[in-house]
């Protein structure tokens, strides 16, 4: 019997029109992103906090440079993780090993109060673990689909929703506990759910059949037959056909390179979220609410928290219906993790309602990006499957322009901040609107980029090319930290508005160039849309 999707018979059972295995990967990636973004939300705030508050009292520039180096390195190691999986471990083993290393990394960071060595050891383990985990789980998503069309684009968008569900919960809970209870508790909580993510993936991996099992076992039987037929045809038309094939491959790899280059401009600006935008939220935004304002925030925050939790729990129950009979242990572990999450969420909300005054955590604004992703990802997924689906380069251009407009809003909101000011009380609305525009831009760039790598790269190089894609993210994240570290001298001499205008003009300019390149890139894709 011919299967519609790759993987086992159980994987043919669908959730929201997609193979069940997509949602095994969805929840695995969700817990990994919970751990990453939970720690990321705390990193800069912990480093710049005073010794009295349990922090290390670093200068802003030093904290942002370490932030840039760390977030950059977690994206350069995937090129090696992709190669190791392609040549040695296979995708599935690489994912499990990477998840284990990240669990140990978070546990080490939770012990930062004993000695700083544990803090740096934790960062090191997280960087290495990310390298093994990140490119290979993305590669497995692509292999669930036998066609290269709109269905795969939609699948990656759903997968990206899982990424942001984890980011949402990680920033919300780790950020809250880290700022309100203790930094090491926040770091430790991130590791607990990374451990759950590893176990639920390990005990459900048979749903993928041969996908990701080994470097030679990542293609299903039907695909192997098709490959054999193609090899015979290549032998019959060796000279003409192989010349053609090398040109097509070369052109498609060039397109990946161009898209990777322009994604640098996007993430360079976008990653200010965990750096300079966190500083802006902490020191320049009015976060103390009382009376009606406090009550309004509590209600909005409750809705922002409960609605995504209900959506994710609903998806979880649909996955249970399709897979529990075959993968009960994995489902029980996943269900247990959600019970724990619900307990923590309810505790947090009750605790906030018992207080007369609300001091909004600086890390809280980070959940807006994730919330907007969860809210808008299904809509974008439908658009990508409709007749209104724009080309990949145009999607990139729209994303870059929307990102720039978001920073334009921050630039406008910062006009009242005096030169050299270390604190201010700018309205929260400017950060909220900025995150909205950044999120809409992100939905046009990131999941689409992942999908195009899987469609344009040769099968044997998919893991490595995902690694190359993440090298662009390394450059973007590292330079984001370096650029952000100049916030104090720029604000002192030119003002906060000028600082944010830098991140307004550069992405918009890159978006305009991408529009100009659209037709040329489409030709070089040779039929891949």
Angle between helices 60-76 and 276-283 (to 10 degrees): 140
DSSP string computed for 337-393: HHHHHHHHHHHHHHHHHT-SSEE--GGGGHHHHHHHHHHHHHHHHHHHTSTT---HH
| Helices assigned H by DSSP within 170-290 | 175-180, 183-202, 221-236, 238-270, 276-283
CB 35 within 8 Å of CB 430: no
CATH 1.10.357.10 corresponds to the domain 15-524: no
| Residue 145, helix vs strand vs coil | strand
- From the list 134, 126, 156, the residue with the least C-alpha distance to 144 is 156
Q: Name which of 391, 349, 431 is nearest 520 in CA terms.
A: 391
| Tokens matching residue 318 | 């649909």
Residue 383 has what pLDDT? 86
Angle at 419 between CA 417 and CA 423, to 5 degrees: 50
357 contact partners, CB below 8 Å, separation of at least 6: 288, 289, 290, 294
Residue pointed to by tokens 């040769």:
458
Q: Hey, what's the torsion of the CAs at 136, 138, 139, 144, to 10 degrees? A: 130
Please check whether residue 358 is in contact with residue 298, taking contact to mean a CB–CB distance below 8 angstroms. yes
Contact between 375 and 413 under an 8 Å Cβ cutoff? The reply is: no
- Backbone phi and psi for residue 97, each to the nearest 5 degrees, phi listed first: -65, -45
How far is the C-alpha of 229 from the C-alpha of 234, rounded, in Å?
9
Q: Contact 19/219 with Cβ under 8 angstroms? A: no
What is the Cα–Cα distance from 108 to 70, expressed in whole angstroms? 16
Q: Which CA distances in Å does 75 have to 126, 130, 478?
A: 11, 8, 10
Q: How confident is the model at residue 230, as a pLDDT? A: 53
Between CA 476 and CA 400 the distance in angstroms is 14
Residue linked to tokens 């906090």: 49
Q: Is 422 exposed, middle or buried (0-12, 13-18, 19+ CB in 10 A)?
A: exposed
Q: Is 168 helix (H, G, I), strand (E, B) or coil?
A: helix
Listed residue (42, 344, 311, 353) closest to 193, CA to CA? 344
SS3 289: strand
Q: Is 220 left (phi over 0), alpha (psi -120 to 50) or beta?
A: beta
- Phi and psi at residue 346, to the nearest 5°: -65, -40
Give the C-alpha separation, 261 to 162, whole Å.
25
Task: State which residues of the chain have pLDDT below 70.
Answer: 1, 148-149, 214-242, 244-245, 463, 467
Helix axes 20-48, 276-283, angle to 10 degrees: 60
Kindly state the greatest CA–CA separation across the chain: 80
Phi, psi for 30 (deg, rounded to 5): -60, -45
State the Cα–Cα distance between residues 135 and 468, nearest whole angstrom: 9
CA distances from 120 to 40, 43, 184 (A): 14, 12, 14
- What is the number of alpha carbons within 13 Å of residue 389 lying toward its C-beta? 15
- pLDDT at position 221 is 39
The encoded tokens of residue 459 equal: 């099968």
Convert the pLDDT of each residue in 281-316 to its tens digit: 999 999 999 888 899 999 999 998 998 899 899 999
Q: Residue 1: its pLDDT value, please? A: 61
**Spatial separation of the C-alpha atoms in residues 54 and 46, rounded to whole Å:** 8
| Interval 334-366: pLDDT, tens | 999 999 999 999 999 999 998 888 889 999 999
With 0.85 as the threshold, say if the pTM is over it: no
């Amino acid at each position: 019997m011919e299967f519609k999707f790759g993987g086992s018979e159980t994987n043919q059972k669908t959730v929201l029109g997609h193979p069940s295995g997509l949602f095994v990967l969805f929840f695995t990636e969700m817990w990994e992103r919970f751990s990453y973004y939970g720690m990321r939300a705390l990193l800069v705030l912990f480093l710049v906090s005073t010794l009295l508050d349990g922090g290390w009292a670093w200068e802003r520039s030093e904290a942002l440079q370490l932030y840039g180096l760390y977030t950059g390195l977690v994206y350069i190691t995937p090129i090696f993780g992709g190669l190791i999986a392609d040549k040695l471990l296979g995708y599935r083993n690489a994912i499990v090993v990477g998840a284990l290393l990240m669990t140990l990394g978070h546990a080490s960071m939770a012990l930062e109060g004993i000695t700083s060595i544990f803090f740096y050891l934790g960062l090191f383990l997280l960087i290495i673990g990310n390298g093994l985990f990140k490119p290979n789980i993305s590669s497995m998503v692509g292999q669930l689909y036998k066609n290269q069309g709109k269905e795969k684009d939609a699948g990656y968008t759903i997968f990206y929703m899982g990424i942001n569900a984890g980011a949402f919960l990680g920033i919300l809970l780790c950020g809250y506990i880290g700022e309100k209870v203790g930094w090491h508790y926040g770091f430790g909580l991130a590791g607990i759910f990374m451990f759950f993510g590893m176990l639920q993936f390990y005990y459900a991996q048979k749903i993928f059949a041969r996908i990701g099992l080994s470097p030679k076992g990542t293609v299903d039987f039907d695909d192997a037959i098709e490959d054999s037929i193609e090899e015979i045809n290549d032998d019959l038309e060796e000279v003409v056909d192989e010349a053609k094939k090398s040109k097509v491959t070369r052109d498609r790899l060039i397109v990946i390179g161009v898209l990777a280059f322009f994604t640098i401009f996007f993430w360079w600006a976008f990653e200010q979220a965990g750096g300079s935008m966190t500083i802006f939220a902490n020191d320049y935004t009015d976060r103390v609410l009382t009376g009606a304002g406090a009550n309004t925030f509590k209600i909005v925050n409750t809705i922002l928290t409960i609605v995504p939790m209900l959506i994710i729990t609903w998806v979880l129950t649909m996955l249970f219906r399709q897979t529990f009979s075959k993968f009960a242990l994995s489902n029980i572990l996943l269900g247990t993790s959600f019970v724990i999450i619900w307990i923590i969420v309810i505790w947090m909300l009750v605790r906030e309602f018992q207080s007369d005054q609300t001091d909004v955590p600086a890390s809280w604004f980070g959940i807006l990006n994730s919330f907007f992703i969860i809210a808008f990802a299904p809509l974008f997924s439908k658009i990508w499957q409709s007749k209104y689906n724009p080309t990949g380069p145009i999607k990139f251009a729209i994303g870059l322009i929307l990102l720039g407009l978001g920073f334009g809003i921050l630039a406008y909101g910062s006009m009242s901040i005096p030169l050299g000011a270390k604190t201010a009380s700018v309205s929260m609305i400017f950060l909220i609107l900025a995150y909205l525009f950044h999120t809409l831009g992100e939905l046009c760039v990131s999941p689409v980029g992942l999908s195009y790598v899987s469609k344009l790269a040769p099968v044997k190089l998919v893991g490595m090319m995902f690694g190359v894609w993440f090298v662009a993210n390394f450059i973007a994240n590292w330079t984001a930290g370096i650029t952000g570290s100049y916030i104090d001298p720029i604000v002192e001499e030119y003002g906060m508005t000028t600082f944010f205008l830098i991140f307004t003009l550069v992405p918009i300019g890159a978006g305009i160039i991408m529009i100009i390149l659209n037709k040329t890139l489409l030709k070089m894709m040779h039929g891949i849309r």
